[in-house]
Structures are given as structure tokens and as C-alpha cells.
Chain A
Amino acid sequence: MSISTVISAALILVGCALGLLGGVGLYRFPDVLGRMHAATKPPTLGLVLVAVAAILRVDQLAGATLLVLVILLQFLTAPVGAHMVARASYESGDQLDEATVIDDLSQAEPPEQFP
């Protein structure tokens, strides 16, 4: 058991646990925006960890470069996707949770409509 195998095994376990956490959080949180927290941050980090584990184990350089590309893409696109869905759900009037403490966005000027 070489050291890279042990490291990649640990990374796979942690990454998949984060993926499970994302699923459970999506199920348990009471509010659309809260669910978005749970469904974007832990799985993104889990994907990065699992991809690093796969980089350590894959034997072709072509595979390693594809994994690097996936890591970059995930970092660039996951927060943008989360933000777009959050904004869309807020604008279309999904009810926020009753326990919401403060809501500054309701007092803001309405957004400009793009054609």
C-alpha cells in the first residue's frame, strides 16, 4: 500500500461523505435558499477531492488533464449556477422560511428587466 493509494482512499471517502451531506442537506433544510447552500458547497468540494484522488490513481496523462479541467470548471460554474437559481427563485416569489430574520432585498429597488 503506497502512500498515494492511502491518500487517494482517504480523499475518496471524504469526498463521497460530502456528497452524501449535500443530499441530506437538500432533503432536510426548510427553505429553497437554504437548500441551495447545502446542495452547492459540500458537493463542489467533494467533487474536487474525489477528482484529486482520481488524478493520483489514473495512469494516463490525458486522464489527469481532463480531471484538472473538471476541477476548474466546477469551481467556475457551481457558484454561478447557485446564484442564478437563487435569484430566479427569489424574483419569482418563492416563499422564504418563516424564521427568516432579516430581509433587505425586499426593500431594494426592483431590478431592471433585460429584453
Chain B
Amino acid sequence: MMTRLLMILWLSAVWVLLWGDLSPGNALAGVLLASILVLLFPPGTERHAGVHPVAVIRFGLWFAKALVISNLSVAREVMRPKIKLEQGIVAVPLRACSPLVAAFVANAITLTPGTLTVDVRPQAFGKIGTEPPAGHLQVRNGVAVPPVLYVHCLKVGDPEQVRADGLALEKYVVNAFGSPEDRQAILQPPPIWPPLENPSGREGSPA
């Protein structure tokens, strides 16, 4: 229900911004149209994201600073007479399981210093018979599978540093937008990469 109300609010705000006209008739038309649209196409069932305003502001400030720094560093790379890059794709395993957090972190990684998210895949625990269903970052019967982000970097200094940066970014995002399960999940120690063949607690016959 909350998601629908927020969606109606957002759509009416976009309508009013597009018309540039804050009269009551226009706003009412926007709300009406947004309600009809949300009734026809209800948004998917998302986990309830807990928004903390102070953390959102902190995330926004850090993000603005990272954006400026990233553009300066890309500018320096472009302006060199002979381009010298060490590109690479690094796997960054996350800890929080919800798709919302993964989407935010992937977008933030794409907009920050020299990194670009290429792919997001569920974490494969070695070769075990039961794999999570396709497209789901989280399995319903109690076993949550955190995603792994594959991040392309212009200058890979040290892959562990890239993973640490990714986990720090995830902490910012979860503090700002995460659900209670996510906030619990990021208290775990950083995941090891590459993953072990058969971590404790999961039975299964290796294929």
C-alpha cells in the first residue's frame, strides 16, 4: 500500500513538473491520472525499505563528492598523451540480499571513480545441486542469496581494495535505504572471494 501511495505521489510530481503549472486543477488531474495508472499497473511487491533521512543526506553528500572526483580522474586519464590503463573486471560480493539495495549500489558504482557495473549475478556456492531460481536475488524458503556485482575498473590497483570500496558503498546505501534484514546482513564480516566449495550449513551433492 505504501509503495502504491509513493508511486502515485511520484507520478503526480512528474506530471506537475512536466506541465510547470502548480494550479489545483493541474495537480488534481495529475493525481487522478497517476491513480488510474497505479491501479492498472500495480508495482511489484518490494520489501519495505526503511529510509533514514540523515543517512540519505550523508549518502547524497558523499555521492556528490565522489561524482566530482570521478570526473576529474577520468579527465586526467583522457588528457594523457599516451593512454595507460590497467582495466579489469573485479567480482564484488555483497552482503545485503534485496534487489533494491543491489540496484542502488550498482548505480552508485557506475557513477563513481573509474568503475562501471557490468553484471549482477546470484552468488553461486560452488557446484551444488540446488541453484537459486533465475532472476531472483533472494530465495523465498528462507535461504537468501546475496548478489555478486561484477565491476569493471579503469585502473585496478588491488582487487581487494575494489571489493572493500564496494562494501563501504553498500554500507552507505543500506544505512540510507535498507530494510531491517539488510541492516542485519551488513553486520556480517566481509565475504571471501572466491567462494568456498561447500560452505557450512548447506548440504548437497557436488555435481
Asked if A13 lies at the interface with its beta carbon under 8 angstroms from chain B, I say no
With most chain B CB atoms within 10 A of its CB, the pick from A25, A68, A102, A111 is A102
Asked if B114 lies at the interface with its beta carbon under 8 angstroms from chain A, I say yes
Query: What total of chain A residues lie within 8 Å of the partner, measured CB to CB?
Result: 52
Q: In the assembled complex, which residues on chain B have CB atoms less than 8 Å from the CB atom of A18?
A: 71, 75
| A102 engages B124 (CB within 8 Å) | no
With most chain B CB atoms within 10 A of its CB, the pick from A37, A44, A102 is A37
Mask, A53-74, CB within 8 Å of B = 1, is: 0000000111111101100000
Asked if A6 lies at the interface with its beta carbon under 8 angstroms from chain B, I say no
Asked if B53 lies at the interface with its beta carbon under 8 angstroms from chain A, I say no
Question: In the complex, A105→B159 CA distance in Å?
Answer: 13
Query: What total of chain B residues lie within 8 Å of the partner, measured CB to CB?
Result: 43
Question: In the complex, A69→B20 CA distance in Å?
Answer: 10
B residues 38-75 near A (Cβ < 8 Å) are 67-68, 70-71, 74-75
With most chain A CB atoms within 10 A of its CB, the pick from B71, B77, B121, B135 is B71
With most chain A CB atoms within 10 A of its CB, the pick from B17, B87, B114, B154 is B87
Q: In the assembled complex, which residues on chain A have CB atoms less than 8 Å from the CB atom of B159?
A: 102, 104
Asked if B111 lies at the interface with its beta carbon under 8 angstroms from chain A, I say yes
| A62 engages B87 (CB within 8 Å) | no
A residues 9-36 near B (Cβ < 8 Å) are 18, 21, 24-25, 28-31, 33-34, 36
**Interface residues of B: mostly helix, strand, loop or mixed?**
mixed
Write the nearest CB–CB distance from B170 to chain A, whole angstroms: 16
Q: Which of A34, A64, A79 contacts B107 (CB 8 A)?
A: A79
Mask, A74-85, CB within 8 Å of B = 1, is: 010011101100
With most chain A CB atoms within 10 A of its CB, the pick from B17, B91, B114 is B17
Write the nearest CB–CB distance from A60 to chain B, whole angstroms: 7
Asked if A108 lies at the interface with its beta carbon under 8 angstroms from chain B, I say yes
| A41 engages B71 (CB within 8 Å) | yes
* Complex A-B: 9 CB contacts under 8 Å: A21-B74, A42-B75, A44-B111, A69-B18, A78-B111, A87-B118, A104-B89, A105-B89, A107-B194
